Amino acid sequence: MINGSDSALQVSRVSPVFVEGRFSAPLVEAKTGRELGLSDGQVVQALVQARGDQLGLLLRGRLLEVAVMPDWRAGQTLSFRVQAHPNGAMALHPIANVAPTSTGLAATPEPIISRVENLLFRPAGAPDIQALFKPGVIDTLLSNLARPDLQAQWNAMRLSMASVSPEAIRLALVGAMGSEAALARAQPAPVQNPKQLLRQLLLALGQVDHQTVEQDSYIPGQLQRAIDEVESAQVHAVQSQSQDAIMFSVVLPFKDADPVALSFEGKPALHGQPELLTVNIHSHSRDYGELWLKTEVHGRNAVELVMWALQAGVVEQAGRSARALGLELQQAGLTLRSFQVIHGARPAPQPELPPADCGMILDLRA
C-alpha cells in the first residue's frame, strides 16, 4: 500500500501494463511483477494518482498505466488480488465492498482488507531487509545520491562485530522499534531508525536524475518491501502487547559482517508456569558460517540454549565451550539448565496465524 503521504513520490519511468479490454483488470508484465514482489493470491493496495490529465495506479513506488474504471478518483486507495498467468503476467483483480446508499445506488467501492490486516498476514521473515543490510549494498546506493545526511545516519546505525557491546545492541534495538514506540513513551524519536532511513532512500530515488545516474529498477520495489517488513513486525508487536505478550523482530546491520536477525517472543505466566522469554538469533559470518541460536529464559534465571550450525568445526567448538558458558551465565545470576548443539540448519518454524479480531489501530506514517 502507498499511503497518501507517499503520493508525492516521483518515479523514474512508467511501467508498461497490458489490458484485455476497456474495463478488464490490468495485466502486469512478468518483469514488473517480479520487481514489485507480486505473487499469486497476494492482496495489495494501490493509490489512484493523477498524472497530467490521466489517472494511474501508484503501487509500491511504481506508477502503472492501467485501464481506469469509471468510478476511480484521484487519491482513492484500492485493493487488488494478484492472479499469476501461465505466461508470467499477473492480473490485478479489484476487491471492493459495495454498500447501497439511501438513493439505492451503490457507493464508491472501499477496500475490504485493510493495510494493517495485510501486514498481519505477510510471510514471516525479512529477506529484503537482510539483502539491503548486507555490507556495501546501501553504501553503493548512497554513492549515487547527494545525501550526506543519509550516509551519516546509515553509518551511525551499523554496529561493529569486532567491538559489539550490550549497550550498542540495546541502542540498536531501541532504534529498530521505531518512532512509534518512542512517541508512545513520550520520548524523542531515535536516530537509528531503519524504517525512516528506508523511506528517505525511497523518496530520494524518486528525486534523482536518472539520465545521469544509472539506477537498478529493482531497488525501489525492494525498498518498499523492506518497509513493509518493518511495519509488519511493528503491527505484530502491537497485537502481542494487547494480549500481554511480546513478539518483535529486528534486523541489525553491521559494518564488518552480514546482518543479524533477532526475534523476541514473551509469554505471560499461566497456570502456575513461569514466564517464558524466547530470543532467536540468526547470523551468517565469514568465520563461523550460518548460525541459529534459540535462547529460552524460564522465570527469572533458568536458561536453555539450542544452537544450530552448518560447519562441523563450529559445532565441536561450541560443545567444548559449554562449561565456560555455564560459568559466565552463573556469574550473571543465571543458571544454564541445558545447552544443545546440532550440526545442520534449523527447521523452519510453523507459521502462527493471528486472530481475525485483532482490534487495533496503528499510525504507520511516522
Q: Does the global pTM surpass 0.75? A: no
Question: Where are the chain's structural domains?
Answer: 4-101+109-113, 124-242, 269-347
- Give the contacts of 277 (CB within 8 A, at least 6 positions apart): 246, 264, 265, 266, 296, 297
Amino acid identity, position 193:
N
- pLDDT of 84-125, one tens digit each? 777 777 777 777 544 444 444 444 444 444 666 667 677 777
Q: Which of 61, 73, 72, 50 is nearest to 13 (CA)?
A: 61
> Residue 177's CB: how many other CB atoms inside 10 A?
21
DSSP string, 227-261: HHHHHHHHHHHHHHHHTT-EEEEEEE-BSSS--EE
Residue ranges of the chain whose pLDDT lies below 50: 1-25, 97-113, 211-213, 351, 353-366
The predicted structure's pLDDT at residue 208:
64
Angstrom distance (rounded) from CA 97 to CA 155? 46
As given in the structure block, the three cell numbers for residue 47 are 493509490
Tell me which architecture the domain covering 269-347 has in CATH.
Answer: 2-Layer Sandwich (3.30)
The predicted structure's pLDDT at residue 196:
87
Q: Where are the beta strands (DSSP E) in the chain?
A: 17-18, 27-28, 43-51, 54-59, 62-64, 77-84, 90-95, 246-252, 260-267, 276-285, 289-298, 302-309, 335-343
Q: Are 328 and 339 in contact (CB under 8 A)?
A: no
- pLDDT of 296-348, one tens digit each? 999 989 999 999 999 999 999 999 999 999 999 999 899 999 999 999 999 87
- Give the contacts of 56 (CB within 8 A, at least 6 positions apart): 14, 48, 49, 63, 64, 65, 66
